[in-house]
Amino acid sequence: MKALGSQPNPPSWGLVRAGERNLDLNQAYNYPDAAGSGVTVYVVDTGIDVTHPEFEGRATWGNTACSGCASKDDNDHGTHCAGTIGGKTFGIAKKVKLVAVKVLDAQGSGSDADVIAGINWAANAAKSSGKPGVISMSLGGGKSDTLDQAVKAAIAGGVTFAVAAGNDSTQDQQADACTGSPSGVAEAIVVGATDDTDTRAYFSDTGKCLSIFAPGVNILSAKPGGGSQSMDGTSMATPHVAGVAAIVLSQNPSLTPAQVKAAIVNGATAGKVSDPGNGSPNKLLFNAVIGSASTSSTTTASSTKTTSTTTKSSTTTKSSSTTTKSTTKTTTKSTSTATPTPTDTCPWWAWWC
C-alpha cells in the first residue's frame, strides 16, 4: 500500500481527472504521497520563472541553449508547463525538482540545433546527478532525424521523455503524430490531449505513435510574475504525464525509461476517450500507477516550436486572450471558429497559422 496525499478543490480540472478512474470533476486531487520526491524534471521549453511561489524554491535555472535568448521565461509557456508538472497548487508531482532548459525564444520558436543542445545538456545533467530524471518537451516541428536521434540517445542513457503529440489536426482531418519530431520517437511517451468530457481535443494529433492521452484543454497553471493563466494544447497534456513519470520514479527510482513508459501506459484507464482518432490508443492518464519490471509499451524543418494553442491570461482567473509571435508558420488549432489570414510573423502555435 502507498500513502496518499489529497488536494481539495484543485484549481485545474486536469489534476482531478489524472487522479481518478471515472470522470467526476467534483472530487479532490488524490495522489501518491511520494509526489515526485527525489526526481528531477528538466523542462525543455521557453524557461521557467524559478521565483514563482508555486515552485517553493524547487525550481532552478539550468541552461540557456538558444542563441541570443535571455535567461528567463519571456514567453510564459515553460512556466505554465512547469506548474502543471510540479507546482504546489497546479502540479501533479508536488515534491519534484524542476530545472529550466531554455531552447525556445520569446516568440516560442527555436532551431533544431538549439533543442538538441538543450536535450544533451539535460541528459548529461541527469546522468551527473545520479538521480532519476525526466525530460518534458512540450514542443515539436517537422520530421528531423537528428532531433529524434538525440531523444533516443538520451532515453538510452536512462532519461524518461514525455513529448507532445502536436496540434495539427482540424475538425475535418486528423494529423498523424508519426510525421513530426520528436512525436514520432517510439521510445518516448507521446501525449495527446483531451477535454473535460474525456473527448479528444480536435486539434490533437493522432495515430499509432501516440502512447496516451491526458488533459489538455483549458488547463490553469502558473504564469511568470506570480499569477496564473489557462492554456490549451498537447503542450498542456504533456506535463501531466511528465509529473506522473516523476511519481512513478519516486516510488521506484531504478526503473528504466521503458519500464516507466510501460507503467504509465499499462496503468492508464482504458476505453474512456471519445473519438481517440485513427490508430490512437484509447488510454487516459492515471497517476496512481506503480512501476514494475515489465518493459512492454505500446523536424527536416529548421525550427521547433511549442505545442500550446490559445492563452487566456490573469493573475487569479482566466481573462482576455494574448498572442505570441514567431518567425515560423505552422498549423496548431484551438477552439475558436474565426479564421484570420496567416502571415509569416504569426505565432507558430496559433490556430490560424
30-69: pLDDT as tens digits: 999 889 999 999 999 999 999 999 999 999 999 999 999 9
* pLDDT at 263 exceeding the cut of 90: yes
* pLDDT at 345 exceeding the cut of 90: no
Handedness of CA 20, 237, 82, 178 (dihedral sign): positive
pLDDT tier, 4 (very low <50, low <70, confident <90, very high otherwise): confident
Record the cell numbers describing residue 229, joined without a space.
493563466
Which entry of 204, 235, 297, 326 is annotated as an active-site residue?
A: 235
Say if residues 243 and 31 touch (Cβ distance below 8 Å): no
pLDDT tier, 305 (very low <50, low <70, confident <90, very high otherwise): low
Q: Which has more pLDDT, 214 or 296?
A: 214
pLDDT at residue 291 in the model: 54
Which entry of 45, 114, 168, 198 is annotated as an active-site residue?
A: 45
pLDDT tier, 347 (very low <50, low <70, confident <90, very high otherwise): very low
Average pLDDT over residues 177-192: 98
Average pLDDT over residues 91-115: 97
Check residue 119 and give left, alpha or beta (phi > 0: left; psi -120 to 50: alpha): alpha
Q: Where are the alpha helices (DSSP H) in the chain?
A: 13-18, 77-86, 112-129, 145-156, 234-251, 257-267
> What is the DSSP-derived secondary structure letter of residue 206?
B
What gap in Å lies between CA 195 and CA 212, rounded to an integer?
14
* pLDDT at 218 exceeding the cut of 90: yes
Which entry of 49, 52, 76, 77 is annotated as an active-site residue?
A: 77
* pLDDT at 297 exceeding the cut of 80: no
What gap in Å lies between CA 12 and CA 16, rounded to an integer?
7
Annotated catalytic, 77? yes
pLDDT at residue 102 in the model: 98
Q: Which has more pLDDT, 33 or 177?
A: 177
pLDDT at residue 290 in the model: 63
pLDDT at residue 289 in the model: 74
* pLDDT at 309 exceeding the cut of 50: no
* pLDDT at 332 exceeding the cut of 70: no
Backbone angles phi, psi at 318, to 5 degrees: -80, 140
Hey, what amino acid is at 239?
P
* pLDDT at 328 exceeding the cut of 60: no
Annotated catalytic, 235? yes
What gap in Å lies between CA 188 and CA 71, rounded to an integer?
27
Hey, what amino acid is at 114?
D
* pLDDT at 235 exceeding the cut of 70: yes
What gap in Å lies between CA 225 and CA 50, rounded to an integer?
10
Average pLDDT over residues 202-213: 98
Say if residues 346 and 323 touch (Cβ distance below 8 Å): no
